[in-house]
Structure formats: C-alpha cells, structure tokens
Amino acid sequence: MPLIHKRLEPFHLGWFVLLVPLVLFALFVSQIPAISNGDTLIQTIHWIPSIGINFTAYLDGLGLIMALLITGMGSLVVLYSIYYLSPSDSFPHFYAYLLLFMGAMLGVVLSDNLIVLYVFWELTSISSFLLIAFWYHRKNSRYGAQKSLLITVFGGLGMLAGFLMLHGITGTFSIREIIAVMVQYTDHGLFYPAMFLILLGAFTKSAQFPFHIWLPDAMEAPTPVSAYLHSATMVKAGLYLVARFTPIFGGTASWFWTVTIVGLITLFWGAFCAVRQTDLKALLAYSTISQLGLIMSLLGLGSAALHFGDGEQGALYGLAIFAALFHLVNHSTFKGALFMVVGIIDHQVGTRDIRRLGGLMAALPITFTFAVIGSFSMAGLPFFNGFLSKEMFFASTVNAVGLPLFGVPTWGLLIPLIAWIASVFTFVYCMIFVFRTFFGTPQLKKVDRKPVEPTLGMLISPAILCVLIIGLFFAPNLLGDHLLKPALQGIIPDISGAAPQISAWHGVNIESLMTFGIIAVGTLLFLSLRRWIIIYRLQPAGWTFTAFYNAFLKGLKQTANWTTTHYMTGHLPAYFSYIFLFFIVVAGGTFVYTDALAIDFTNDSPISLYEALLTAVMAIAAISILFTKSHLSAILLNGVLGFSIAIFFVLFRAPDLALTQLVIETVTTVLFLLCFHFLPEWTTERSSKRIKVRNAVIAIGAGVTVTLIGLTVNSGPLFDSISSYFENSYELTGGDNIVNSILGDFRAFDTMLESLVLFIAGLGVYTLIRLKLGKGPEKDEHQ
C-alpha cells in the first residue's frame, strides 16, 4: 500500500484494496459446494518440519464460515471506508493495517498447526492495536489500543502455554491429529491446565467477563474498524477457538461449566451495562460483549452433546452449537449494520452522544430504516434473522434444564432465567438506540452540523447487510444446509442428526412465551427508564473493572519506578555488586544444589617452584592495585599481571602465545599511560567500613566461585577436548603453526572482526591524544 498509492492517484486507494477481499470472498464461495458435501481441503507448506511445525491450511465447514465472514465483511467495510474516511487520513497506513489484520484472521481460522495458529493469533492483536490507534493523536485512541493489546496478548501467552502442554501430551502440533488421539489422554495431568490456559486466550480475545473491559475503549477506532474487528472478526476469534477445541475438551464437566457460566455472566453484564451508556458506540460495544457471551454460552451448552455421542440426546444438545453458529452469522450482519449506522450519524451529525440526538428520522430516513432493521434483529424480534437464532438460544437453555449430568439438575434452572433477564435488557437498549436517536424533538442546537443523508456509497454496505438480515429470516435453511451443517460437522462430526431445519414458528411453546415476556417486560422497562435508571448510581465510581485495571497499571508503574531508582544508582561499584552476586548465587548455587562440585587433583601435573612464585607475584600485584594511590602505580601493577601471564605461556611451552601476550600488554600499558596522563588526579573513594566489608565478601565469593567451577570442570570433563579437531591443521589448512591456522583459517571471520574492533579503538585513542583538552571546538558566531 505505501509503495503504490501515489501511482494510483487521483483514484482512491480503497477501490484497489477492495479487490483483495472481493477476490478472496469469491474463491471461498466457490468452495461451498465441495464443503457442503463433506469434503475438506488441506494444503501443507513445510516450515520447521524437524519439530513438526508446518503451515497447514485446513478448510472445513467451520473454517469456511469464518473465512466468508472475514472476507465478506472485509469487502463491505473497505467499501464503507472509502466514503467514511477523511482525505486527511493516511489511506496507505489504514489499508495496510486492515489487510494485515484480514490476513492474520484468515491464518487463525485456517491453520491446523498450533504454533502457526498462535503466530497469526498474536498478529491479529498487533494489527488491531495499529487499527485502534490509527488516530494516534487522540489520547483515548492510544489508551484503548494499549489496553486491548495488553489484555489480548496476556491471554495469548497463556494460550501458547496450553498449546505446548497439548504437544507435550500428544506429541503433535496438528489440531486434527490431537482430536483423533485426545480421547486416550483425558486422565493426563496436563489435560485440565491446558484446557484452562486455552480458554484464557479465547476469553480475552472475545471480551468475556472479566476481560471485557478492553472492548469499549477500543471503540475509539474509526467506525469501519469497529464494524470489522469488533462485530465480525477479531472478537469472533475466541469463539472460533472454543468451537475448534470443543472436540478435544468437550464432554467434560469443567469445559461445560466454565464456558457456559462465563458466557452467561458476560451475556447479562454486557446487556446490563449497555442500557446506561450515552455514547452510541459505547452502547454497541457493550451489546457486542453481551452477544458474544450469548454465543459462548451456547458453545458451552452444546459441548454436552459430545458426552452422549450419536443419538437423540446428542442431537438435542448439539442444537446449541448449531444455534451458536447461526447467531455467529446473524450477529455479524446486524451488528455490522448498526456500527455503520452509528458511523453515518457521527459523520453527518457530528456527535454520537444520545443526549444530544433525537428526531433524526425525518432528516435521515434511510439510516433510520437500517437502524430499525439492525436493532430489531438484535432484540430478537420477528421478521429478522436475530429472532430465529434467539429462539434457538432459548430452546437450548430450556433443554439444558433437563441435562442428566454435570450436576445440571441442581442449578440448571438458572440458565434460562439468566438468559431471559439478559434478553430483557437487550430489548431495552435496542429500543434506546432507535427511539432516543431517531424519535422525539430534534435538538439541532446541540449538534455540530445540520443532519442530511450521506452519499449513496456510504449507504451501500449497511443496505446489503440489512437485506441479508431480512433475507435470512425468510430463507434460513439456504444458510443452514450449505454452511451451518458443514460447520457443525467440523465441531461434532459423530453426531449426524444435530443439524435441524430452521423455521420461524414452532407453535406456542416455552421459547415463544419467553419472547413474548421479553417484549412485554422490556417495553415497560423502556417506558419507565427514567425511574429505574438510578440503580446504576448505586455502584461506587471507583468500583469498576476499568478502575481496577488502571489502578493495577499505576501500581505496577510505581513499583517499577521505585525498583529502578533503587538499583540504578549510577554508581559503578553497585552494578558490579549486582552482577557478581547474581553470578555467585546462580552459578555457585546451581553447582551446590546439583552436587556437581567434584575436585580431583590426582591427575594434575605437579606445580613447580617457578609457577608457585609467579602465582604469588600475580596475587601480590592484584591486591596491591586496590590500595595504590596513583595512576602510574596502578598501570605498572596491572602490567605486572599481563607480563606474568606471558611468562606462564613460556613455562607451558607456548612461545607464540607468550609473544602475542607481550606485544599486546606492552601496547596496552603504553596506551594506558598516555590516556591516564590527561585524567584528573587519583582520588580514593571514602566508603564506610560496612560497604568495604561487603565489597570484599562479594569479591572473594566471586573469586572462590570461579576457582571452584574451574577446578570442577577440569576434574570431570563431560566432553572430548576440542583440540583434537585442530591437530591435523596442516592437512586442513596447509599451515605449519596450529595457532596461526586457528586464527587465520578456522576463525578467520572472528579474527577479522577483532581486528576491526582494534582499528576502531585505535582511532578513538588517536582522537583522544590529538584532542586538546580544555579547549572545546570553536563555536559558530551564529549559534
């Protein structure tokens, strides 16, 4: 995008970008006949085959329905963004981020390999961060992007740990292979830890309670981003993960209750919080949280089907997963349309604040029509697709009451009760969206501009979605037979009768009575909203999950600052103390803990008198450096150490090394003398006796640790000496001198880089010598 956008002028870059999701959508549509017949498409590209990590694209019914949502909604969002974005916005960046996200989401839903899936999973977090922070000049945009990144990446790391546990259990990274063999590992000690860690990743990505707090703040993104990421794609990644891993963990009580309870709590809390919002996008954000909870609870309830297998009971509870898939599609249609409606209102009126809106029906009749269709579908009212999936949701909750396992008969009655109460609040906020925005007295004095309908181009995308909302109500089995049933087969392949025929009316039953009750009670609550809305004031201002999140980050920052200021003292001896203490504790402690210290002198050569005297001279010189009070004395004593090492090389019959050491030590000593000549006079640091004792203990401890480790390694070598490899240096390199061969041939690049470092250091020393200290560069008269 950044490379070609200038060449496309004066054409809008979005028209070129639109080709990408359209072509992909057409390609996936062409696969519907094959997938609906039960086929699966697999393509593998080897990546790291030595450890079983390959890019394996796996397209089944579940992957296809997600891919169609990603590319189909992506096409509509790109088309909508062409007319929504301002000319001042950076189109290349926006569309690059959008396509990056689209590709990452396709990678998530089509990957069969766990590690590849994780790579794409985190790429969705990164690309969504870039999209949410697209208007980075806004503080709230940066805050929302950071919040979403921290929470979703935190969950993703937990999910990665769960993936590694699954690999440890089964020995494979392939999801298909894990599904095939997992039944024999349900008693493994890592089975449940892997389950909960994978659910952590799914819950954080799909904004489930209590990780839902990132989604409302992410609404600071441009409306096309909200319509795409937060209604149809990114937030559905967690739902996809739960659906994909249901064959692995489904059928267990822990999976059933965890997924169901978290989903129901999210369903209720999102709907409850949506009612009190005054910003239209915030209202839709909490409604998204609620709808995601609804789908999550259905996936949890439907997992019980795996316990019963093929048969009447399995088909009965498999209905919940079918309903989850159906509502997954329906939610993308009506929520995408509603986000685009909010974008139109914000774009044409200049505000999303419900308190400043009202009476827009006359000025925006087409937008009003879209709002009614989307809102009534979300409320689950007849003649819209949301009604069908909401009825199936109620049927699944009612069926769950009679589930004869997992302890459901004790608490099962709460499942349809919570679902009904949450749906009442859903009805209320849907009515708020329509009636508070489009009915009543126009408040033109409170808005920034006179409201008029947008251009035709901005209306096309929501119009298509609204046609789908109505069309799916009258022809739902077209979707059910060709997409939902194959997707259901991808989740519970052993239950053949779990995919029902969808119909709008089943007579008067519990589900229809629940819907009638929602309409009646919801209407009364909406009409009396001003009387009971005060209940939201009972919650203390600081007692919110966002407040806890902010307090946690603030405390973390304060702790980090306190820690840093206490160990980053700017005092070099303190840093050496940390380094040596860490070395003593970790290295020395490891040797002691593993009982690895084993010193054996029996095979050592005898120490001659000359070696003992030379060692004593070096020890005296090293200790004397600590007490000297002049630069010259310190340099000479340091030279004694270097020249003594050269003498050791002579004693050990290594004249080449001795000569090298003598040359290097002579040059170094001369350079030190030149440099230290220009340094200030020697000053001894006045430290307390306690600090001196501490430093002495640390120094002695580090020396003892190194000595013990050296003696241990020498006493018990674990590997053959590497010197044998170089013994035939003449045959390998043609060099008579083994040292020269090592330096010039075996490690020639290393030697070349060392020479380069010495050359750079020499330039630095030469510059210091030539520099006239005390006389800085002449300043320009204009400075």
What single string gives the DSSP state of each residue in 267-303?
A: HHHHHHHHTT--BHHHHHHHHHHHHHHHHHHHHHHHT
Do 681 and 746 reside in the same domain of the chain?
A: no
Do 409 and 464 reside in the same domain of the chain?
A: yes
Please calculate the CA angle 327-329-333 and round it to the nearest 5 degrees. Answer: 110
Q: Which of 464, 494, 527 is the endpoint of a domain?
A: 527
Question: At how many degrees (to 10) do helices 385-401 and 456-474 cross?
Answer: 50
The reply to whether 544 falls in a domain is no
> Position of tokens 């069926």?
399
Do 287 and 431 reside in the same domain of the chain?
A: yes
Do 374 and 484 reside in the same domain of the chain?
A: yes
- Asked if 652 and 611 touch (Cβ cutoff 8 Å), the reply is no
Do 380 and 512 reside in the same domain of the chain?
A: yes
Do 739 and 688 reside in the same domain of the chain?
A: no
The reply to whether 17 falls in a domain is no
CA gap 269, 288 in Å, rounded: 11
Amino acid of residue 333: T
pLDDT at 735: 81
Nearest to 72 by CA among 131, 107, 21, 35: 21
> Position of tokens 């409850």?
272
Q: Which phi and psi (to 5°) does residue 629 adopt?
A: -125, 20
Amino acid of residue 399: N
Residue 695: partners with Cβ closer than 8 Å, 6 or more residues away: 573, 577, 687
Give tens-digit pLDDT for 96-148: 999 999 999 999 999 999 999 999 999 999 999 999 999 888 898 999 999 99
Do 310 and 426 reside in the same domain of the chain?
A: yes
The reply to whether 622 falls in a domain is yes
What's the total number of domains in the chain? 3
Do 613 and 639 reside in the same domain of the chain?
A: yes
| Helices (runs of H) and strands (runs of E) counted in the chain | 36, 2
Tokens standing for residue 493: 């392949």
- Cα dihedral sign, 417-422-425-430: negative
The reply to whether 534 falls in a domain is no
The reply to whether 360 falls in a domain is yes
The reply to whether 423 falls in a domain is yes
CA gap 201, 68 in Å, rounded: 23
- Asked if 768 and 675 touch (Cβ cutoff 8 Å), the reply is yes
State the Rg of the chain over Cα.
Answer: 36
Q: Which of 501, 527, 553 is the endpoint of a domain?
A: 527
Give this prediction's pTM: 0.81
Tokens standing for residue 755: 């020479």
Distance of CA 535 to the CA centre of its chain: 36
Do 741 and 720 reside in the same domain of the chain?
A: no
CA gap 525, 428 in Å, rounded: 7
Question: What is each CA distance from 600 to 180, 588, 767, 778, in whole angstroms?
Answer: 54, 18, 51, 66
- Asked if 341 and 367 touch (Cβ cutoff 8 Å), the reply is yes
Nearest to 500 by CA among 481, 486, 520, 519: 481
Q: What is the mean pLDDT of the chain?
A: 89
Give tens-digit pLDDT for 532-574: 988 888 877 778 888 899 999 999 999 999 998 888 888 888 8
Do 428 and 479 reside in the same domain of the chain?
A: yes
Do 416 and 331 reside in the same domain of the chain?
A: yes
Distance of CA 586 to the CA centre of its chain: 32
CA gap 621, 613 in Å, rounded: 12
Do 259 and 374 reside in the same domain of the chain?
A: yes
The reply to whether 80 falls in a domain is no
The reply to whether 439 falls in a domain is yes
pLDDT at 781: 42
Q: Which of 466, 495, 527 is the endpoint of a domain?
A: 527
> Position of tokens 């004397």?
624
Q: Which residues of the chain have pLDDT under 50?
A: 774, 776-783
- Structural domain boundaries, residue 648: 571-653+662-725
